Amino acid sequence: MPVWSDRPRPNPTPCRDGDEGLFEVTARDGRARLGKLHTKHGILDTPALLPVINPNIRTVEPREMWDRYGIGALITNSYIIWKHAKLKDKAVTDGVHALLDYPGVVMTDSGTFQSYIYGDVEVGVEEIVKFQRNIGVDIATMLDVFSRPDMKYSEVNEAVEETIKRADRSLDAAQTTLINGPIQGGIYPELREKSATGMAKFDFAVHPIGGIVPVMEQQRYREYTKIMLSTIPFLPPDRPVHMFGCGHPMLFPMSIALGADLFDSAAYALFARDGRILTPWGTQKLESLFEWPIITPCISSYTPQGVKELPSDERITLLSKYNLEITLAELSRCRQAVRDGSIWRLVEQRSHQHPALRDAFLWLTTNPATADLIKLTSDNIPLNETTSSQEITNSGRWEKGWDWILQSQFTPRKGGEQWAGSDTINRPHIIAANNLLADRWHPSDSATQGGDSVLIFFGQSGPWRDKCDGIVAKLMQCLPGLEIMVNTPIGLVPYALEDLNPFCHIEGPKWLWNDKLDMVKITTSLERLGLTGRGIIPIDLRKENFESTIFDKLIGIEMASSVELIDGIFTITDREVFQNSSTKLNRRKARDKLSVLFNVDQETADEITESMEFVVNKYGRIKNLLSPSGHHLASFRLGDGGLSLTNHGAKELFQRRRRSLPTQFSQASISPYSGEGLAIVVVNDDAEPYVRKGRNVFHGFTLACDPWLRPGEACLICSQTGELIGHGVANSTADDLRVMKKGVAIKTRDGIKQED
Ligand code: GUN
């Protein structure tokens, strides 16, 4: 099916019985998600743009939106229809789809926005919902109370409380029609949270975030971001989030990265009427254009001059289509970025295109929650330049919201990390990767030889193993307490994890690695890794004789075995000790991966790896981890430095679990659970035989899970009776599992048969 077509598109098929109103997530990148909303007029793919149709002024025909632009849903205003007798009669008699001549999903608004613009509306709370139901809309909207950003706290509180008060009556009036439960709260984070938690208790299908139009009109994008961050974490993840009145493509990447699923836009037509063009970097006046900033199908046979000369009606229609095409293209770009895992990269790129967007982005990525990491960057804007005292007061709140973003990041992931200046370090998945090291990685016993020092390789990009594995193996033998790190542009990584993405593969200019060690950054990094107070031995890998430098720097330190420098080579004189050294390094690699990637505590990781065997490839790189009896436990993934579990490995980890199995879905945060092992998901009896055969776990078939389940991470799958029946990779957070009813929850990697 082409995206833009000149041929009629078939009408949608209704969703399956029982699926109406269900929302499933089909792909995700952190909190950004691709989804499907099931309705009687088709399954709507999200993120989606719902163009606003004014039933009195149809700039672009709804049918054309369906046929030509593949638009799956639109929004119109039920209050306008209700007020105009002709529209009302037709809608009541033939339904809203016939009135608009549109076969897809029709959402209607309730008149709240009119009350914001013109003062009170004459329609009642139940009356407007009943009317929407009677005209056959797919998704109605209750009459919420608009909260403006200039309103006092007490006024906004009233709007929030009154909206919550109206929820029950509105849902009753809607009967089986899906209904929007808008979130108000102005610019007050606690009121946004109150509104979200209050409205979440009712059975709404979608939650629009309301009261944001004036915030967007005044380009207060930092506040827009804060509104999202103080609202969405408190909404049930099984309901799409709609940004009411947000249709400017400039805001799409950031909104999607923060969890938005639906947008609506009157902007395409309003701006066209005003002779303006919407672009992902802002708005441009047709008057000033000699060239098109973007060429789309509808504009391709015109020059800007040609469009200026068109009669007004024709010009407005053409510019409306042009705006719509640009807007839809940006939305496609965002959806692709979610698939590619690069939505934050797009947010970052777009942030450079408008100062207000840049301000919002910087606040978001360097807010007080990330203060530790800010210290790691040399050229970041200091906290006090972007942060007001009010924000410091609110920092705990933002921290929660930001954590909510970080905890859903996939790490490790495939592919190189493209360096783009100081923003790079604050990419959510990079912060998440650093957090994972800080939470789960453990140093060796510092009471053994070398335990008061850290050796840091710097000066060169990875991979480091060809150059350094030999010397590191020897150092581990003679100085078992010495920690060895590699300095990368995004932080220190323990040497044993040198192939771990994103640390191992940063694409950027050479000078990124050539810098001297920045001791402020290093100290902070060491603190986070539990290595405070150790002496630092910096080793510049650009130096030919770095082995002899190491030797020189270690003179005087007590060693576990004797060493000599022979022809510039650091040499362990005891042959047997030397022969063991590469196994010792392999064990350390396996141990650190088990800790960081499978959340195994240090003692258990030591025990498992103590007698582990290794299958290595022809370059000496570990391929497989084997138990002493030869069972394949896990494989090293060469692409991203991750670990892939096998059934034997899953059994081994399951046996070693100390905590009892989860009995509920807990909403606790992930981080206090370091060392607790892989998260366990308990499925019901219906799912058990399928999982045992290796089929995915679907939402609605789970009974409990550990709170530290995180998307992209391995997990164990248990039956209701507590047997291990498989393992997989989570597609969800614990909270998703608690509430979602449709879609894949866990991608099963393998099932464990009863007799296994
Ligand atoms: N359209 C734009 N903002 C709003 C809002 O806050 N509520 C409703 N119902 N519609 C809107």
In this structure, what CATH number is given to the domain that contains residue 147?
Answer: 3.20.20.105
> 453 pLDDT exceeds 70?
yes
Chain position carrying tokens 């209904």: 179
C-alpha to C-alpha distance for 350 and 420, rounded to whole angstroms: 13
Residue 709: inside a domain: yes
Where is average pLDDT lowest: 80-89, 391-400, 425-434, 509-518? 391-400
Chain position carrying tokens 């799956």: 72
Residues 20-47 have a mean pLDDT of 98
Residue 143: inside a domain: yes
Helix (H, G, I), strand (E, B), or coil: what is residue 617?
Answer: coil
CB 181 within 8 A of CB 167: yes
Range of the domain at 555: 417-636
Cα angle 214-265-340, degrees, rounded to a multiple of 5: 105
Q: Report the candidate in 695, 650, 698 with the shortest Cα–Cα distance to residue 677.
A: 650
- Alpha-helical segments (H) within 395-449: 395-406, 428-440
CB 188 within 8 A of CB 226: no
Chain position carrying tokens 């981080």: 671
Residue 594: inside a domain: yes
CB 662 within 8 A of CB 706: yes
How many domains does one find in the chain? Answer: 4
> 392 pLDDT exceeds 70?
no
> 3 pLDDT exceeds 90?
no
C-alpha to C-alpha distance for 78 and 136, rounded to whole angstroms: 11
CB 200 within 8 A of CB 238: no
Please tell me the residue having the least CA distance from ligand 1 atom 11: 113
Q: 662-718, pLDDT tens digit by residue?
A: 999 987 778 889 999 999 999 999 999 999 999 999 999 999 999 999 999 999 999
Residues 109-127 have a mean pLDDT of 89
Q: Examine the domain organization and report whether 53 and 185 are in the same domain.
A: yes
Q: Examine the domain organization and report whether 422 and 459 are in the same domain.
A: yes
> Cα(first)–Cα(last) distance of the chain, in Å?
45
17 catalytically annotated: no
In this structure, what token pair is assigned to residue 382?
């200091």
Report how far apart, in Å, the C-alpha atoms of 122 and of each of 84, 128, 209, 226 are: 13, 10, 23, 33
C-alpha to C-alpha distance for 97 and 63, rounded to whole angstroms: 10
- Say how many C-beta atoms besides its own lie within 10 A of residue 559's C-beta: 16
Q: Examine the domain organization and report whether 326 and 450 are in the same domain.
A: no
Residues near ligand 1 (Cβ within 6 A): 109-110, 112-113, 141, 144, 146, 182, 210-211, 213, 244-245
**Model pTM?**
0.94
Q: Examine the domain organization and report whether 188 and 117 are in the same domain.
A: yes
Q: 311-359, pLDDT tens digit by residue?
A: 999 999 999 999 999 999 999 999 999 999 999 999 999 999 999 999 9
Residue 357: inside a domain: no
- Say how many C-beta atoms besides its own lie within 10 A of residue 1's C-beta: 6
77 C-alpha to ligand 1 centroid (Å)? 11
pLDDT confidence of 118, banded at 50, 70, 90? confident
Q: Report the candidate in 723, 708, 628 with the shortest Cα–Cα distance to residue 669.
A: 708
- Say how many C-beta atoms besides its own lie within 10 A of residue 54's C-beta: 13
Quote the mean pLDDT of the chain. Answer: 93
In this structure, what token pair is assigned to residue 719?
């039956």
Which residues does 34 contact at the CB level (< 8 Å), separation at least 6?
A: 25, 26, 27, 28, 45, 46, 47, 335, 338, 339
- Say how many C-beta atoms besides its own lie within 10 A of residue 161's C-beta: 16
Burial tier of 314 (Cβ tally within 10 Å: 0-12, 13-18, 19+): exposed
Quick one: DSSP state of residue 595? H
| Beta strands across the sheet bearing 714-718 | 697-698, 744-751, 724-730, 714-718, 679-683, 702-705
Q: What is the CATH number of the domain that holds 705?
A: 2.30.130.10
Helix (H, G, I), strand (E, B), or coil: what is residue 207?
Answer: strand
For a pLDDT cut of 90, what percent of the chain falls above it?
A: 84
Residue 90: inside a domain: yes
Residue 411: inside a domain: no
53 C-alpha to ligand 1 centroid (Å)? 15
Q: Examine the domain organization and report whether 600 and 736 are in the same domain.
A: no
State residue 371's pLDDT score.
42
218 C-alpha to ligand 1 centroid (Å)? 16
Q: Examine the domain organization and report whether 336 and 372 are in the same domain.
A: no
Q: Examine the domain organization and report whether 149 and 264 are in the same domain.
A: yes
- Say how many C-beta atoms besides its own lie within 10 A of residue 397's C-beta: 18
Q: Examine the domain organization and report whether 273 and 381 are in the same domain.
A: no
CB 257 within 8 A of CB 344: yes
Q: At what angle do helices 575-598 and 465-478 cross, to 10 degrees?
A: 110
Which of 53, 116, 262, 264 to mutate for ligand 1's pocket (most ligand atoms within 8 Å of CB)? 116
Q: At what angle do helices 343-351 and 355-365 cross, to 10 degrees?
A: 130
Q: Examine the domain organization and report whether 513 and 657 are in the same domain.
A: no
C-alpha to C-alpha distance for 648 and 653, rounded to whole angstroms: 9
State residue 332's pLDDT score.
97
Please tell me the residue having the least CA distance from ligand 1 atom 7: 210
Residue 610: inside a domain: yes
Strand 569-572 to strand 613-616: parallel, antiparallel, or no bridges (unpaired)? Answer: unpaired
Q: Examine the domain organization and report whether 608 and 701 are in the same domain.
A: no
Residue 658: inside a domain: yes
Q: Examine the domain organization and report whether 628 and 656 are in the same domain.
A: no
Cα angle 327-329-333, degrees, rounded to a multiple of 5: 115
Which of 52, 107, 146 to mutate for ligand 1's pocket (most ligand atoms within 8 Å of CB)? 146
Strand 207-209 to strand 262-265: parallel, antiparallel, or no bridges (unpaired)? Answer: unpaired
End position of a domain, from candidates 341, 376, 406 = 406
In this structure, what token pair is assigned to residue 687?
């799912």
Residues 455-472 have a mean pLDDT of 95
Chain position carrying tokens 């932080």: 491
User: Per the residue annotation, which of 6, 17, 94, 109 is the catalytic one?
Assistant: 109
CB 106 within 8 A of CB 65: no
CB 100 within 8 A of CB 51: no
> 628 pLDDT exceeds 60?
yes
402 C-alpha to ligand 1 centroid (Å)? 26
CB 172 within 8 A of CB 140: no
Q: Examine the domain organization and report whether 157 and 179 are in the same domain.
A: yes
In this structure, what token pair is assigned to residue 58?
């149809």
